[in-house]
Structure 1
Amino acid sequence: MPSLRAITPDDFETIRRHRLAMFREGGRPAVAIAAMAEPFGLWLRPRLDDGRYFGWIAQGDGGEVAAGIGMMEIDWPPHWLHPTTGRRGYVLNLYVEPQYRRRGLARRMVAAAMDEGRARGLEYMILHPSEQGRPLYESLGWSPTGELGIAVPKA
């Protein structure tokens, strides 16, 4: 079974590759994924360097990357779901390499994120699941929220 280790700034390319693969496999338009690649890298680099983006890499016995997951703490006003603080965790970029799928690795990665949330004193955690991943999260107690979104039109 692959072992988990904390991500480091040296994992930049792996995280970037995983995010692009995640959206590609989810059926997102290739042109949109390509347009996101560079801005995501520009966003990720300083957050990896200063620790605002953290997470885990699962490595196989030969040191190869088997999976990755990221996490951030986000500032949010107190809410009826977490009324005493504005500390929320955001889980993102969970990706399991195809040859490592169906072995419980995604479940282990999400459990590590949930443990980290507890250790950091977070009251609430969110994520945006793919349809493929939704059953896993629901089996771990995650539930849908009423969130909607819109891309703000340019003037």
Structure 2
Amino acid sequence: MIDARQAVPGDAQELMRLRKVMLDGMGDEPAPSGEWERTGAAILEKQLSDPDGMLAAFVVDRPDGTGLAACVVGAVDQRLPNPRDPTGLRGYVYNVATDPKYRLRGYSRACLTALIDWYATRGVSAVDVRASPDGEPLYAAMGFRRTDEPAMRLYLPAP
């Protein structure tokens, strides 16, 4: 059995390293390093320090050394209820990432399973994820389905 544990603030740097691994795999070119990584680590350190917080990460440690082999980060969003979602609690999976050296061992599945269990204990009734082509088979195998909801995004200029 694969042991996925809940991340602690000290995992923030490794979580951001794996986030970059995920982003690198989604684009034509690697994501540039920069201030976003330090900002993300600071956010994770703060959010993971709150045991009753609305953000959680689950990780699998490298079996042959220090650091993380895989992770998932997710949050709970309180939305307004509707007939199909009476609590309005929605889970969102920010990233699922596995270090290339450790892929195809079930680590991401273990992390995602732990996150889904965490959502269930908080009364979340729906979980959203944006699936890359590589990740979609895992999500589908775990019960995620495409929705009919259209999505659009507006980027605002930086202040």
Provide the residue aligned with 2:100 in structure 1: 98
Tell me which residue corresponds to 1:115.
117
2: CA distance between counterparts of 1:127 and 1:77? Answer: 19
Say if 2:94 and 2:129, in contact at 8 Å, map to a contact too: yes
The match for 1:76 is 79
User: Closer, same or farther in 2 for the Cα pair 1:29/1:78, shift >3 Å?
Assistant: farther
TM-score by length of 1: 0.83
Gaps of 5+ in 1: none
Which position in structure 2 is the counterpart of 1:47?
A: 47
TM-score by length of 2: 0.81
The answer on 1:137 being equivalent to 2:145 is no
After TM superposition, give the deviation of residue 5 of structure 1 in Å. Answer: 1.4
Aligned-residue identity in percent: 26
Read off the aligned partner of 2:155 and give its amino acid letter: A
Q: In 1, Cα distance between the equivalents of 2:145 and 2:81?
A: 19
Cα distance in 2, alignment partners of residues 110 and 25 from structure 1: 19
Tell me the amino acid that sits aligned with residue 9 of structure 1. P
Q: Letter of the aligned partner of 1:116 in structure 2?
A: W
Total equivalences in the alignment: 154
Counterpart secondary structure, 1:88:
strand
The one-letter code of the counterpart of 1:27 is G
CA contact (8 A) 2:9 2:44 kept: no
Q: CA deviation at 1:40?
A: 2.4
Would you say 1:11 and 2:15 are equivalent positions? no
Opposite residue 66 of structure 1, the aligned amino acid is A
Shift of 1:91: 1.6
What displacement does 1:32 show? 6.0
Report the residue type matching 1:142 in the other structure: F
Question: For the residues of structure 2 that align with 1:31 and 1:97, how far apart are their CA atoms?
Answer: 15
Read off the aligned partner of 1:88 and give its amino acid letter.
R
Measured on the aligned residues, the alpha-carbon RMSD in Å equals: 2.4
1:37 positional shift: 2.4
- The answer to whether the Cα contact below 8 Å between 1:2 and 1:60 also exists between their aligned partners in 2 is no
Query: Is 2:56–2:115's contact at 8 Å kept on the other side of the alignment?
Result: no
1:2–1:59 CA contact under 8 A, matched in 2: no
Secondary structure at the counterpart of residue 131 of structure 1: coil
Cα displacement (A) at 1:38: 3.6
Shift of 1:123: 1.0
